[in-house]
Structure 1
Amino acid sequence: MLDQALIIGASNGLLFGDMIIQLLTFIILLALITKFAWKPLMNVMQEREQHIASEIDQAEQSNQEAKRLMNEANDELKNTRQNAQQIIDDANETAKNQQAELIKAAKEEAARIKENARLEIEQERDKAIQALQTQVGSLSVQIASKVIEKELSETEQEKLINDYLDKVGEDNE
């Protein structure tokens, strides 16, 4: 039977010895490819896989860092806006206080001016009353001297004026 298989194989151009050589050549070729091509290729593929994984990790870290920085920037912007609003509120409060102080100072100045004017008016009135009393006194003495037709001495005239002024002063009070 084996002879028949060899004869049949030989008639087709295939020999059992050739098959074994081809099989051995294939195994040797497979071993050489595995050693010199497959392993380095697999090493390159593993390195590439590790590199890609590392790039993905770095991208995730960068993404997280960007999110953190964005949150910090938003917080800083929020704080800045709050600070700006606080400054505006403080400025408004200061302006209101200054306005109140200016109004108070103006009212005090107006009251002071009014009081000074009142005092000046009183002084002028007192001067006018005194001048009027003096004139009235002189006129009274002149009228009295004409009425009684006598000439009064200077001392008597002075006494009469003072008496009259005292009476006029009592009437005004």
Structure 2
Amino acid sequence: MSSSLLMLAAAEKASILTVHPGLTFWTIVTFVVSAVVLRFTAWKPIVSMLQEREKTIHEAIEGAKRERLEAERLLAEQKTAITDARREAAELVRKNQAEVEVARQNALAQAKKDADALLEQARRAIAEERSKAVSELRFAAVDLAIAAAGKLLEVNLDEQKQRKLAEEFLQKIPTQPRA
């Protein structure tokens, strides 16, 4: 049995490798007819579809190139704008610092001026109070002198009584100035 299987297998191999002229002819005829039919019916739509696809891909590539160039231009513009904004911000900071320094100097000058004015006002007030006190002291001294003279005239006193009277008047001198 095994020999009959081997023979059958050898016969099948031989049939696959064997050239059959009728089968070859009809295969070629079928291929040519299919190619002609496809050329007239499907070739033009396939070629036009491929050309359309090629055109679409080419346009997409060109569009991507344009968009890339536009993106690079916009990026360069943004970088320039950022650089300009940073420069402007630094300039504003510098100007603000200068303005703050000027305002500080002005505030210090105004404070010094105000302090000097207050000091001068205080000096004038002290001078006025001093002259009032001196004036009141003079009036008090005159009053004391008049009172002492009146007492001396009323009583003819010896030296010891005059001394005692003067000491009493000195004790009566007010320590507070008159209002």
TM-score of the pair, normalised by structure 1: 0.56
In structure 1, list runs of 5 or more residues that go unmatched: 1-12, 151-173
* Alpha-carbon distance, 1:32 to partner: 4.2
Instruction: Identify which of 35, 40, 43 aligns with 1:35.
Output: 40
- 2:108 matches 1:130: no
Q: Equivalent pairs: percent with the same residue?
A: 27
Tell me which residue corresponds to 1:113: 118
How far apart, CA to CA, are the structure 1 residues paired with 2:145 and 2:30? 166
Query: In the alignment, is residue 53 of structure 1 matched against residue 51 of structure 2?
Result: no
Between the aligned partners of 1:64 and 1:57, the Cα distance in structure 2 is 11
Structure 2 CA distance for partners of 1:137 and 1:26, relative to 1, 3 Å? closer
Q: State the 1:93 CA deviation.
A: 2.8
**Structure 1 residues 142 and 25, CA gap change in structure 2 (3 angstroms):** closer
Cα RMSD of the aligned pairs, angstroms, is: 3.9
Residue in structure 1 matched with residue 97 of structure 2 by the alignment:
92
TM-score, normalisation: structure 2: 0.54
Structure 2, unmatched stretches of 5+, are 1-19, 155-179
Which secondary structure state, in structure 1, belongs to the residue aligned with residue 54 of structure 2? helix
Identify which of structures 1 and 2 has the higher relative contact order when contacts are C-alpha pairs closer than 8 Å and 6+ apart.
2
